[in-house]
Amino acid sequence: MQLGRVKPKGESWVNTAGEVIPMKWRDETVGIIGLGYVGLPLAIAFAESGATVIGVDVSQERVQSLKQGRSYLTDVPDEEIASVLGRFHPTTDYSTLRDCDAVIICVPTPLAKTGEPDISYILSAAEDFRPHLRRGMLIVLESTTYPGTTEELLKPMLEETGLKAGVDFNLAFSPERIDPANKQWTLKNTPKIVGGLTPECTMRAKALYERVVEDVYPVSSPKVAEMTKLLENTFRAVNIALVNEFAILCRRMGISVWEVIDAASTKPFGFMRFEPGPGIGGHCIPIDPLYLAWKAREFNHEARFIRIADAINRQMPEYVVSLIADALNDHGKPLRGSRILLLGIAYKPEVNDYRESPGLALVELLQRKGSYVCYHDPYVPEVHHNGWMMKSVELTEDELAKSDCVVIVTAHKFYNWGWVVAHSPLVVDTRGVTRKMNAHNVVRL
């Protein structure tokens, strides 16, 4: 197949060789690099669509688990993996990607300790994949990153093979919008953005994703697609910071922020509900806006909204510690030596993901003050972080009763809040789940 500039022509398109390619043209062998929260559901979706899927991950443990039909994600049941194992081939071997028509990169994009983007995972995936790049392939980057990554970083790396992007192979960016534990908006019914290096790259990426997504929305370039994802996540970070600020102010003014939010939410237009909490977590909202803030400096622009939102959100765990200290103080107890039980350590309900979770910051801040801290989370049996490890305790009436303070960190549906409040001497509720209860032992954010 020869690639090149295309002219859309109804339900088909024409490449530079004059070949008419139907729009529903299908890439039959799809490679996915990185089988995490984003890559694994995508791999399963492509396999379910009938494609052969090669899933490459550097983690031998994850690959072994998948080969045995065992999932490591709460959103993906074992049966789903078992049902596609004939077409889904997990491996650590990059060379198996050489027979793929399309390869999608879904590796992590965290922050370095200095707060700057750490794109080393993209670099290493591109480097390991490069020897297996073939003429005619479509390469799509899905990892959230700063605008320009696909064109300024990935393209030159892949072109070191001598093949030219947009001519010998197609290249596009398509941000993932997966929302773990969201049963209403799934990979299938959430519109997907694609932005290719050339119109042909875009159309090919669109055709690829139409196998698994109902609605694919093309944009004019990878940069636009990269920026779109950052607008979406910055929008969330900024609005969460705004309600967090309202929560702090409302408490000072003796107003319930929860009642205010419930009331404002009755407005059918011009208002969107966001809720305060002990901080933000996960691999997206606390991180992605900082990728943009970093890139903005190259253009002599200080992304002020992002910096302020980040500062407010990052300060929330300390604010919650001050609430716990005040609440204990009212019971005649200091933080030092008090037994504090955190309910939930995952960053949001119904997931086992505790990356960047505010619960981790709470453990460290409270321990630094001399408190004895333990946690319970139905989804997270143990936590490994910053060189420490902790196991979830059993949640019993006795465990609640012997705690000096129980802190509601994650509003998992598992919990019966009435039961928690009834058996705990003191509760600090950072999620507003007790707001309808008339209980004297509860302090709310």
Ligand X SMILES: NC(=O)c1ccc[n+]([C@@H]2O[C@H](COP(=O)([O-])OP(=O)(O)OC[C@H]3O[C@@H](n4cnc5c(N)ncnc54)[C@H](O)[C@@H]3O)[C@@H](O)[C@H]2O)c1
Residue 29 CA to residue 26 CA, distance in Å, equals 9
Interacting residue with ligand X among 33, 81, 104, 365 (CB under 6 A): 33
119 binds ligand X (CB under 6 A): no
Interacting residue with ligand X among 43, 53, 66, 125 (CB under 6 A): 125
**Region from 103-111, 165-173, 331-339, 395-403 binding ligand X, contact rule CB under 6 A:** 103-111
Residue 22 pairs with which residues in a beta bridge? 12
DSSP conformation class of 116: S
- Residue ranges of E strands in 273-344: 339-343
- In angstroms, what is the minimal distance from the CB of 144 to ligand X? 4
Find the binding residues for ligand X in span 168-227 (CB under 6 A).
176, 178, 180
- In angstroms, what is the minimal distance from the CB of 95 to ligand X? 13
Please give the full DSSP string across 373-402, using - where no structure is assigned.
Answer: EEEE-TT-SEEEETTEEEEPPP--HHHHHH
Residue 214 CA to residue 289 CA, distance in Å, equals 28
How many CB atoms sit inside 10 A of residue 368's CB? 10
Q: Using CB atoms, what's the residue nearest to ligand X?
A: 36
- In angstroms, what is the minimal distance from the CB of 354 to ligand X? 12
Interacting residue with ligand X among 13, 54, 144, 443 (CB under 6 A): 144
- In angstroms, what is the minimal distance from the CB of 143 to ligand X? 3
Nearest to 211 by CA among 102, 105, 86, 75: 102
- In angstroms, what is the minimal distance from the CB of 34 to ligand X? 3
409 binds ligand X (CB under 6 A): no
**Region from 33-41, 182-190, 385-393, 414-422 binding ligand X, contact rule CB under 6 A:** 33-41
Q: Which residues are catalytic?
A: 284
Distances (CA, A) of 110 to 114, 146, 345, 360, 400: 11, 12, 20, 17, 36
Interacting residue with ligand X among 66, 103, 109, 371 (CB under 6 A): 109
121 binds ligand X (CB under 6 A): yes
- CB of 179 within 8 A of CB of 204? no
In this complex, which beta carbon is closest to ligand X, that of residue 33 or of residue 238?
A: 33
Nearest to 392 by CA among 370, 365, 414, 423: 414
x/- track of binding to ligand X for residues 47-66 (CB under 6 A) = ---------xxxx--x----
In this complex, which beta carbon is closest to ligand X, that of residue 108 or of residue 278?
A: 108
Ramachandran area for residue 50 (φ above 0: left; ψ -120 to 50: alpha; else beta): left
- How many residues bind to ligand X according to rule CB under 6 A? 27
In this complex, which beta carbon is closest to ligand X, that of residue 192 or of residue 444?
A: 192
| The pairing of beta strand 170-173 with beta strand 88-91 | unpaired
**Region from 29-37, 162-170, 299-307, 432-440 binding ligand X, contact rule CB under 6 A:** 29-37
x/- track of binding to ligand X for residues 256-295 (CB under 6 A) = ---------------------------xx-----------
What's phi and psi for 19, nearest 5 deg?
-80, 140
Interacting residue with ligand X among 68, 95, 124, 182 (CB under 6 A): 124
Sign of CA dihedral 241, 173, 109, 62: positive
- In angstroms, what is the minimal distance from the CB of 356 to ligand X? 11
How many CB atoms sit inside 10 A of residue 307's CB? 14
108 binds ligand X (CB under 6 A): yes
Distances (CA, A) of 336 to 320, 342, 364, 368, 429: 16, 16, 13, 9, 20
DSSP conformation class of 286: T
In this complex, which beta carbon is closest to ligand X, that of residue 35 or of residue 407?
A: 35
Interacting residue with ligand X among 106, 390, 400, 405 (CB under 6 A): 106
CA angle, 141 as apex, 139 and 146 as ends, to 5°? Answer: 145
Chain positions contacting ligand X, by CB under 6 A = 33-39, 56-59, 62, 106-109, 121, 124-125, 142-144, 176, 178, 180, 283-284
